[in-house]
């Protein structure tokens, strides 16, 4: 667009999508403004999402491993949990990263403007901060305003014992009994943390399965391990009411597998996230927002208004940080005149539970539902020397192949650090590798990533040496 504007590129929201877009834009020579309502940069991911949850999950894992070392002849005492220090450590990790983002913004001369942004025209955004209002005009804009936790109407949200993921990550205390509503990744990660800290955790899920999206056979080892640790897992059950009482939150359930009611010290509601599309004055810029708050984009991240882009959670599933960053890069490059496209064949998903569950490309259930002519190779980690050395043997690696071409079309793994080994499968799919390519690639021994090669060999029927 022609004209004189305050900046070339205005980015609304400083999450993984937004800061990536802003940095890429600045690197490509665009005068860039980054608008963020929170005092801290980094969005949900850095402040109240990916990073603090992983910091706590690591602590949870250490507690758990220490407890199990007695089987190896090493006995640790009962852990003393100093909640203030644990919280401070988690906050320290977050602070390092958010501080880093601020530094990177400064070094690139990205102008960070704090305040709540709202479009007031196709080339103008109003930013309000503590009573001050300023208007910033832009040549291009990138909407990266993210998402927020979904609420179920009628629950007592003014009671701090009813938490969303942000509240759960605050770690105000270690409740005696916690109910997690929603058996998705976020709920299960937080359930894992609290269980390790000593809370009796119950999970309630509407569907007949946990971790929707992953193949059942991949979730099974996780579910089996958790069934022994969680107080209860109620599948095909729903919470119909929560009432605040002095002694706790009284929760009413529906579903054969759950009691009609029970009392919990805290409840975590994690039933999904809603996009922020309706909260940014999009209509003033002519940007179309659907009923749920999502903004549709093309493969260059353009909205229906060609000089306005949207990226990250606000454009739809999967709501993952690595999708947001890649989209952010594309949007900034297109604004700078490059011919970039978001062209990922696959986007990996990882649940950082213990064991981790990770998948990329088509799942076996999708392959079946789509009637694909697929073959599979699986490798049980009980036959992996590395896995056994780690004292864990419940893992499985599975690769799916197109039987006609032999190419890898999907992969999944469950087990310790499964999230780290899925990257190779993603690369294999992007590059059109077949089983032989993976099998012929020399993998270091003994590693967990070796299980990917073993699964490929299992598909080819050439597996010779398991350990
Ligand atoms: P967000 O990170 O949501 O950032 C949006 C930003 O925009 C926010 O800073 C917000 O304050 C700002 N904003 C919104 N509206 C305005 C406005 N009007 N004016 C000014 N600023 C505004 N994903 C993973 O890939 N891996 C994980 O391990 C993972 N773990 C998670 C754990 C939890 C507990 C949660 C809640 C999420 C997790 N996610 C994870 C999801 C991940 O956090 C999101 O996919 C990611 O943050 C989306 O990035 P985004 O750039 O779209 O927006």
Residue 45 Cβ inside 6 Å of ligand 1? The answer reads yes
- Rg from Cα positions in the chain: 24
Q: Which residue's CA lies nearest to atom 28 of ligand 1? A: 50
pLDDT digits (tens, 9 = 90+) for 413-445: 999 999 999 999 999 999 999 999 999 999 999
Ligand 1 atom nearest residue 321's Cα: 25
Q: What is the pLDDT of residue 2?
A: 84
Asked if 218 contacts 350 with a C-beta cutoff of 8 angstroms, the reply is no
Does the CB atom of residue 105 touch ligand 1 within 6 A?
A: no
Say what the pLDDT of residue 256 is: 87
The CA-atom distances, in angstroms, between 399 and each of 7, 361, 364, 427 are: 48, 10, 9, 13
| Six-digit token string for 8 | 């070339």
Q: pLDDT tens-digit profile of 145-202?
A: 999 999 999 999 999 999 999 999 999 999 999 999 999 999 999 999 999 999 999 9
The confidence score (pLDDT) of residue 462 equals 55
Q: Cβ(188) to ligand 1 under 6 A?
A: no
For the CA atoms of 232, 238, 239, 240, the dihedral, rounded to the nearest 10 degrees, stands at -150
Residues in the chain predicted with pLDDT less than 70, given as ranges, are 461-467
Q: Is 312 in the pocket of ligand 1 (CB under 6 A)?
A: yes
Atom 23 in ligand 1: residue holding the nearest Cα: 320
pLDDT attached to residue 460: 77
Position in ligand 1 atom list of the atom nearest CA 273: 36
Residue 68 designated active-site: no
> Which of 321, 353, 417 has most ligand 1 atoms within 8 Å of CB, for mutation?
321
Specify the ligand 1 atom closest to the Cα of 279: 18
pLDDT at site 197: 97
Contact indicator for 409, 374 with CB cutoff of 8 Å: yes
CB 14 within 8 A of CB 41: yes
Q: Which residues pair with 408 in a beta bridge?
A: 401
| CA–CA distances in Å: residue 21 to residues 105, 329, 330, 331, 390 | 11, 5, 8, 7, 40
What is the crossing angle of helices 321-335 and 16-27, to 10°? 30
Closest CA to 435 of 404, 464, 465: 404
Whole-angstrom Cα distance, residue 327 to residue 330?
5
Decide whether any atom of ligand 1 lies within 6 Å of the 17 Cβ.
Answer: yes
Alpha helix locations (H) across 297-449? 321-335, 364-369, 385-389, 418-430, 435-440
């Amino acid at each position: 667009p022609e004209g004189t504007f305050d900046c070339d590129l205005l980015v609304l929201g400083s999450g993984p999508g937004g800061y990536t877009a802003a940095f890429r834009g600045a690197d490509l020579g665009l005068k860039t403004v980054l608008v963020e309502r929170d005092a801290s940069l980094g969005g949900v991911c850095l402040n109240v999402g990916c990073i603090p949850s992983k910091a706590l999950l690591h602590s949870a894992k250490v507690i758990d491993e220490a407890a199990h070392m007695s089987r190896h002849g090493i006995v640790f005492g009962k852990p003393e949990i100093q909640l203030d220090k644990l919280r401070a450590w988690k906050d320290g990790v977050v602070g390092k990263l958010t501080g880093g983002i601020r530094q990177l913004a400064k070094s690139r001369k990205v102008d960070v403007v704090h305040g709540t942004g709202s479009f007031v025209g196709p080339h103008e955004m109003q930013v309000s901060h503590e009573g001050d209002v300023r208007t910033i005009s832009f040549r291009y804009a990138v909407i990266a305003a993210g998402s927020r936790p979904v609420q179920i109407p009628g629950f007592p949200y003014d009671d701090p014992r009813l938490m969303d993921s942000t509240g759960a990550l605050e770690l105000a205390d270690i409740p005696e009994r916690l109910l997690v509503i929603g058996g998705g990744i976020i709920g299960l990660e937080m359930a894992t943390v609290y269980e390790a800290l000593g809370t009796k955790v119950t999970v309630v899920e509407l569907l007949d399965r946990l971790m929707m999206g992953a193949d059942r056979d991949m979730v099974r080892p996780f579910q089996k391990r958790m069934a022994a640790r969680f107080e209860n897992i109620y599948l095909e059950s729903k919470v119909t009411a929560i009432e605040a009482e002095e002694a706790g939150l009284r929760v009413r359930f529906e579903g054969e597998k759950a009691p009609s009611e029970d009392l919990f010290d805290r409840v975590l509601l994690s039933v999904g996230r809603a996009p922020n599309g309706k909260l940014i004055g999009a209509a003033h810029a002519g940007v179309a927002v659907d009923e749920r708050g999502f903004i549709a984009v093309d493969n260059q991240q353009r909205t229906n208004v060609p000089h306005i882009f949207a990226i990250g959670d606000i454009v739809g599933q999967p709501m993952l940080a690595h999708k947001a960053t890649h989209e952010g890069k594309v949007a900034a490059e297109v604004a700078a005149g490059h011919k970039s496209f978001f062209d990922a064949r696959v986007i990996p998903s990882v649940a950082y539970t213990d064991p981790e569950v990770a998948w990329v490309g088509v799942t076996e259930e999708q392959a079946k539902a789509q009637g694909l002519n697929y073959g599979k190779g699986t490798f049980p980690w009980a036959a992996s020397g590395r896995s056994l050395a780690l004292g864990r043997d419940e893992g499985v690696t599975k690769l799916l192949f197109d039987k006609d071409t032999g190419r890898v079309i999907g992969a999944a793994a469950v087990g310790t650090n499964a999230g780290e080994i899925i990257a190779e499968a993603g690369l294999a799919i992007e590059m059109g590798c077949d089983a032989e390519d993976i099998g012929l690639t020399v993998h270091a021994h003994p590693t967990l990533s070796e299980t990917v090669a073993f699964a490929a060999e299992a598909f080819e029927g050439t597996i010779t040496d398991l350990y």
